Amino acid sequence: MTRIVVLGAGPAGAAVALGLRRLGYAVALISEWRRFAALEGVSVRVLEALRSAGLNQALADAALPSQRQVSWNGQQHAQNIEFLLDRPGFDRGLREDLRLAGVDLIEGRVLTVQPSTAGHRIEIEGHEALNADFLVEARGRQAPALGKGLRGPETVSLLNRWQGPPGDTASAVESLEDGWAWMARRADGQCYWQWTVDVASADLPGKAQLLDYCRQRRSNSSVARAFFADGLENDLQLHARSSTAILNPQVCGDHWIRIGDAAMAVDPLSGNGIFQSLSSALQAPTVINTLLRKPERAALARQFHQQRVEQLFLRFARIGRDFYADEQRWQDRPFWQARRQWPDAEVAHAEVDFSSLKIATAPVLKDGFVDEAEVVITADQPLGIWHVQGVELAPLVRRLKTEPAEQALAGLTVEQGRMIRGWLLAQGFKP
């Protein structure tokens, strides 16, 4: 039986492992578990994506929703509902989901990965070496780089965590002259304040003074003072993490694939990290299945994964760029100046125009494999859309060029008709 080894047990690695088990593969997962407690804010869309990936035990302890307060460009308002996930509890649930699915869990640090024509040999601290027919790299930003990829402005996030008195669950975001801060408070009093700054221009003190420096910056913020009203900071801890946007130049080969942050890691302002990881991970089992069982389509499978990862990266990067551009007060400060112009000047959401829709042949996911089909290229989907609600779009768009809408849409179910009409209107179609 083909043996697949996944390196990394975050949401991306877990989602791929579960997807591969559903396809009947033997899967082993090697991971070092998170060394520090962290809290992550996620949206309803992220929770739905996690459930669809089969991560039900991981979501058992999802926190109650809270309204996120936003202070940006001198304006304050409530924006979006945010669920606060306790990552240690979430990670324990991930392990349980994996065990229930029959994934072989190995806890340890990967020492070396030695590729060969037959697969990969993995040396693990405290364990016997493991041989894999196929390797899934899902160790996030810790994964070894593969050459020089596309990088955004060098960025670091300084996470402060401490114990305060119990209170209401809440979260907030604030823009600052030289960066921005995300803060959260759990009902049990666990408090989090993460400050994201520019590496080149921040002029941070040495490690020994960094904790006091962060405390001072927090006390200078009226938003943070109001959010953490009591001011008590017991067991204050600091963790520094890179949050530079990185796109790896190659994310798939014949016997390996990179997913999640190991493939692309984006600026945290662009959107939720878990959602971004899942975006590339959910397609990976089908890509792997094609590489292993239909090698004649290997090039097509690699093309599909590479293009999807690159397009997702640019999409998230442009969303982050536009958020940075919304802050007008410090346009000339190094932090904001670098980020309001990267990665390019392409619009994140182009104007819709039905007459500009194009039809092309492109790789798609079909019946558990990567295949080719005619897709419709739109302004927001440059890689194409194959179908909506089971209805192939290319033949439909062709007919709408020459036939009345009622005639072209005849024969659809009520639900198909509703979904297709909604999609057409979103593309600028005028009946």
Under 8 Å between Cβ of 186 and 86: yes
| Type of residue numbered 2 | T
Confidence of residue 42 (pLDDT cuts 50, 70, 90): confident
* Closest CA relative to residue 26, chosen from 47, 42, 46, 6: 6
Which residues are registered as beta bridge partners of 325? none
Rounded Cα distance between 128 and 372, Å, is 42
* Closest CA relative to residue 41, chosen from 165, 245, 192: 192
Q: What is the pLDDT of residues 393-416, one digit of tens each?
A: 999 999 998 999 999 999 899 999
Domains for the chain: give ranges and CATH numbers: 3-61+87-151+245-326 (3.50.50.60), 155-242 (3.30.70), 354-426 (no CATH)
| Other Cβ atoms within 10 Å of 109 Cβ, number | 12
Angle at 210 between CA 206 and CA 341, to 5 degrees: 90
Confidence of residue 294 (pLDDT cuts 50, 70, 90): very high
3-state secondary structure at position 334: helix
Q: What is the pLDDT of residues 16-39, one digit of tens each?
A: 999 999 999 999 999 987 777 788
Q: What is the pLDDT of residues 322-371, one digit of tens each?
A: 999 999 999 999 999 999 999 999 988 888 899 999 999 999 999 999 99
**Pairwise pLDDT comparison (167 vs 223), residue with the higher score:** 223
Under 8 Å between Cβ of 122 and 157: no
Q: What is the pLDDT of residues 92-103, one digit of tens each?
A: 999 999 999 999
Confidence of residue 88 (pLDDT cuts 50, 70, 90): confident
pLDDT, residue 271, reads 64
Rounded Cα distance between 258 and 250, Å, is 8
Backbone angles phi, psi at 133, to 5 degrees: -75, -30
Token pair of 219, please?
């006390």
Mean pLDDT of 268-277: 79
Under 8 Å between Cβ of 321 and 343: yes
pLDDT, residue 1, reads 59
Backbone angles phi, psi at 326, to 5 degrees: -70, -25
182 contacts: CB under 8 Å, gap ≥ 6: 41, 171, 172, 173, 192, 193, 194, 196, 268
